[in-house]
Amino acid sequence: MRLIRLLKNDIAREAAEWVSEDIITAPQAERICDRYGVDYHRVSSRSFAYNVLIGLGYLFIGLALITLLGANWDEMPRALRMWGLIIITMATQGVALKFYLAGAEDRAAGVFFLGNLVFGASIILIAQVYHLGEHMQDGVFWWALGCLPMGVLISSSWVTLQALVLALVWFMLEVDMGFYPLLFPLFILGSLVVLYRGQQS
């Protein structure tokens, strides 16, 4: 796969500017766009680079939230810790679901990605509160399992990839401890469903 195919919407926007500046004709712009599989007349307003920046933004928001909670964890009352984590997780996933139902699927995928980071932070911090550290791999499994339905529900390759990466970490940790994770094919199946539903790439 060549990098230029990842930037096909950018090419289409550039072609539109070239037509407006009389550098090329509209039929030539259509031929250029056809070569890279993008419709010249229906160009997405968001570029690949924009989506990458938004994804990084959500990632850093999630990491900042985890750091903030971790730094102030000991000063918080136990009830506030529990209810705070539950409310933040449900609120983030609820906002993502609202975006999805409103038809803003790209925005919903980004907020689901953030919500899954919050969900993972909640698992880690609740395990710390109740000293549930006997088999740490279980926390990674439940984190991955919580991410998977979101990715399959909205057919988002990024959210599904998040679940698959977490599942792979869980798989490797389990194998390293001498266990064979029988539920790993579930994550592969979910990924295949998203690939089957998704657009050609």
Among 199, 116, 114, 100, CA closest to 164: 116
d(CA 20, CA 29): 11
d(CA 113, CA 165): 13
Q: Is the pLDDT of residue 1 over 50?
A: no
Tell me: the pLDDT tens digits for 108-150? 888 888 888 888 888 877 777 666 666 778 888 999 998 998 8
The answer to whether the CB of 187 falls within 8 A of the CB of 148 is: yes
d(CA 182, CA 193): 19
pLDDT the model gives residue 42: 64
Tell me: the pLDDT tens digits for 23-68? 888 888 888 888 877 776 665 555 566 667 777 787 787 778 777 7
Tell me: the pLDDT tens digits for 143-172? 999 899 888 888 888 889 999 999 999 999
d(CA 116, CA 132): 20
Sequence-distant (≥ 6) Cβ neighbours of residue 184 within 8 angstroms: 167, 170, 171
